Structure 1
Amino acid sequence: MSNRFFELIAIGLPHRTNTTLARIIISRENGGLTDPSRIVSDEHYAKILAQMVKEYQHTRIEPCEAVGVIAAQSIGEPGTQMTMRTFHYAGVAEINVTLGLPRLIEIMDARKEPSTPTMTIFLREGYSTDRDKARQVSWQIEAAPLQEFGDITTDMANMQIVVHINKAVCDKRKISVRDILEIAPKKIRERRHYRDFEFETNESEALLVFIPKDRGSYQNLFQLKEHVRNVIVQGIDDIERVVVRKESGEYILYTEGSNLKDVFAIRGVDTTRTRTNNINEISQVLGVEAARNAIINEALATLSEQGIMVDVRHIMLVADMMCMEGEVKQIGRHGIAGEKESVLSRAAFEVTVNHLLDAAVAHESDILCGVTENVIVGQPIQLGTGDVKLVVKQKV
């Protein structure tokens, strides 16, 4: 058995392939203790290895292959068949998410904020099968304004806003009256940046009174009321809605809005499976490798949702180019295409005159090693047969 493993390693196949084959062989050997027909003979093992090597060699690209051009056409041509619509997400009527061509453009442009940010939050064991616990986690995540916790009235005579907090609602949502009395004024000042008010609290009667500093202005009173109504006192500010659904025997939370860092801090959230469609946020919280994987997964999911199958290696090449410098860069002129060393290549992409003028002022030179610049000057590109240089030895 050990000789087979050494032989497998010596061939030089990818590590994952070796591991998978070794796991299958071991399971067959264990099964052979009761059923000898399951044991893989040396002859069959040699045939398996030969077929694996053949398949592996077939998947490898030829030297000097124009992989960038092939990847571009493999993604671009199917992209012309994609729709422009926004669909409902996973059957949840309350949550929309951008799909199709607009979503693919968002991914390739490395947008700082997607048009419809959303998260899929998985729960840990003990929370994922208990609906009440799943609902409690959703309350800690979903942004809840002060108006959901009681009655807000405007006292025009005394020029003040009076909030009567409903203790029953607080008990149901697992938050104390004291917390609301502390959080509301603090968040109006810090998150909503409005400071022209004073407040009084009465915890025993669950009362919170807001008084504008300028008592002679009704405009200030109504402005203060809007801040009081909409200040978030429970949950995460960026997440507007949470929908709880049961799928495959466990409860999963779908959100409208995204805040990966704060969601990870919520007790009961499974941080190993929770994901967001905001790639820039993934890069900031989890690093560039996680962002690369997110680009691949999001692009493949967007294409496959439309019934378009693209080989994952084309997507992987694009993701590697976007993330190779330690941060997520877009494909366009503010990213990869605009930072090429070749002057002619940059000029051929966008704003031709500006690139040529800047290059002339800076005394730049172009060594003509890429595809675009060689096509422009009318000479063979340095790919495929054009990369091979023949030297003739003359007879003396």
Structure 2
Amino acid sequence: MTEITADVEALVEDTDLPRRLKDEVYDVVEAREDVSLEQVDEIARAVEARYLDSRVDPLDPVGTVSAQSIGEPGTQMTMNTFHYAGVAEIDVTQGLPRLIELVDARKTPDTPMMTVYLDDEYATEREKAHEVVWAIEATKILALGDVSTNVADMVVQVNLNEDTLLERWPTVGSVDEIAAEIAETIEDALGVTTTRQGTVVEFGPSKPSYRELLQLVEELRDITFKGIEEVTRVVIRKEKMDDDEEQFVLYTEGSAFGDVLSIEGVDTSRTTCNNIHEIYKELGVEAAREAIIEETMNTLEEQGLDDVNIRHLMLVADIMTNRGTIESIGRHGISGSKESVLARAAFEVTVNHLLDAAIHGEVDDLNGVIENVIVGKPVAIGTGDVDLKMGSFSTDAKASDD
């Protein structure tokens, strides 16, 4: 292993490479035996040359190139809205509908879901993993037993199933304790008085009324006794990680990212969801930017379009998040807030934009691509932004030069 000396550091630090690439050069040098200073200099200069070649040239129309590079393959996508995510059997929106969802920055996806990774023994022991499943999945009162109505006595009976209670609360020793807690939850939610005999809970309306009795049964259906109300189902799978170790991973139908992060056994550093607004709320705008890149890339790859360069998607994510919040690419977001009147009018609701601009006396400086195309002027990108002037010189000056 080659030691990183002051001379090696001086050679690498003398390049125009960003910190990430400098660190990678150090890693390569350290991993090799007996690398000379000349070889270190060659490696650093070769990486620098490749890096400078890969950078965008000044005045390149990066926005237009990105729009074309994403829009063209996007039109080839299948229009299937749903598909099963692997063998997890969780319905997720994919293809063009998902791409539109992302660039429109929808507040709630059509099929919200979370991928929940687990910590320590929760990731390797099935019983421990199931404890997290029951802490996340919404458990309705109706799922815990049989509900029946006694019209003669005007009461609703909930006959709790002992096996189900013990399955969902493996750490609680007494079924009686759980039944008492369920009875208390029903009282708080419905505003009724309950009576309990073992695992049978009874309650009814304050005054004999068939309508109110049926209404109580309907309201009982909506009571979530345990778990997160927004998460309707959790699927548990055993998957192989990068280090070849097998761990349990949870996939959820429904999303409540902030609530899941506070549950014991959840690995907060890897857990994610497909709702970019929840990620922004819990983890900030940088995490939301990463989520937009990751989700759009996954959507394209799922459709077999993995040759789209990630830099185009990074540019889209940068534009959507550069003001510190998530903005959609549309008339209610970025396109609708452009400085140029003609650029706004060219996108949607043309007449409204032109009328508003006329009323407020707005001036268009014709700095962008769209507005110059509309008025027939050369666009100020690439060679269109370069002015050439022909200078005059005397024949005497030319003769003296010769």
TM-score by length of 1: 0.90
Is 1:116 the equivalent of 2:103?
no
- Partner amino acid for 2:59? C
What are the Cα deviations for residues 346-384 of structure 1, in whole angstroms up to 9, with x where unaligned? 001001001101111111111111111111111111111
For 1:208, the equivalent position in structure 2 comes to 201
Is 1:198 the equivalent of 2:227?
no
For 1:40, the equivalent position in structure 2 comes to 35
**Cα distance change of structure 1 residues 200 and 59 upon mapping to structure 2, 3 Å threshold:** same
For 1:232, the equivalent position in structure 2 comes to 224
Q: Assess if the C-alpha contact under 8 Å between 1:152 and 1:229 holds in 2.
A: no
- Partner amino acid for 2:84? H
Q: Distance in 2 between matches of 1:284 and 1:379?
A: 44
Q: Distance in 2 between matches of 1:380 and 1:231?
A: 65
Does the residue aligned with 1:209 lie in a helix, a strand or coil? strand
What are the Cα deviations for residues 150-208 of structure 1, in whole angstroms up to 9, with x where unaligned? 2211111122212222344322211622332233343x4xxxxxx6x523243x62343
Q: Distance in 2 between matches of 1:261 and 1:244?
A: 20
For 1:62, the equivalent position in structure 2 comes to 57
Is 1:6 the equivalent of 2:10?
yes
For 1:332, the equivalent position in structure 2 comes to 330
For 1:353, the equivalent position in structure 2 comes to 351
Q: Assess if the C-alpha contact under 8 Å between 2:179 and 2:198 holds in 1.
A: no
- Partner amino acid for 1:198? V
RMSD of aligned residue pairs (Cα, Å): 1.8
Q: Assess if the C-alpha contact under 8 Å between 2:7 and 2:37 holds in 1.
A: no
Q: Assess if the C-alpha contact under 8 Å between 1:167 and 1:177 holds in 2.
A: no
- Partner amino acid for 1:22? Y
Give 1:312 shift: 1.0
TM-score by length of 2: 0.89
Give 1:25 shift: 1.3
**235-244 vs 172-181, which moves further:** 172-181
Does the residue aligned with 1:269 lie in a helix, a strand or coil? coil
For 1:219, the equivalent position in structure 2 comes to 211
Q: Distance in 2 between matches of 1:113 and 1:213?
A: 40
- Partner amino acid for 2:287? A
For 2:24, the equivalent position in structure 1 comes to 20
What are the Cα deviations for residues 119-149 of structure 1, in whole angstroms up to 9, with x where unaligned? 1100001110001100111011111111121
Q: Assess if the C-alpha contact under 8 Å between 2:25 and 2:44 holds in 1.
A: no
Does the residue aligned with 2:124 lie in a helix, a strand or coil? coil
Q: Which structure 2 residues correspond to residues 42-121 of structure 1 after superposition, within 5 A?
A: 42-85=37-80, 86-93=82-89, 95-121=90-116
Number of residue pairs matched by the alignment: 376
Unaligned runs of 5+ in 2: 173-177, 241-245, 395-402
- Partner amino acid for 2:34? I
Q: Distance in 2 between matches of 1:344 and 1:394?
A: 39
- Partner amino acid for 1:49? A
Q: Distance in 2 between matches of 1:160 and 1:179?
A: 19
For 2:133, the equivalent position in structure 1 comes to 138
For 1:242, the equivalent position in structure 2 comes to 234
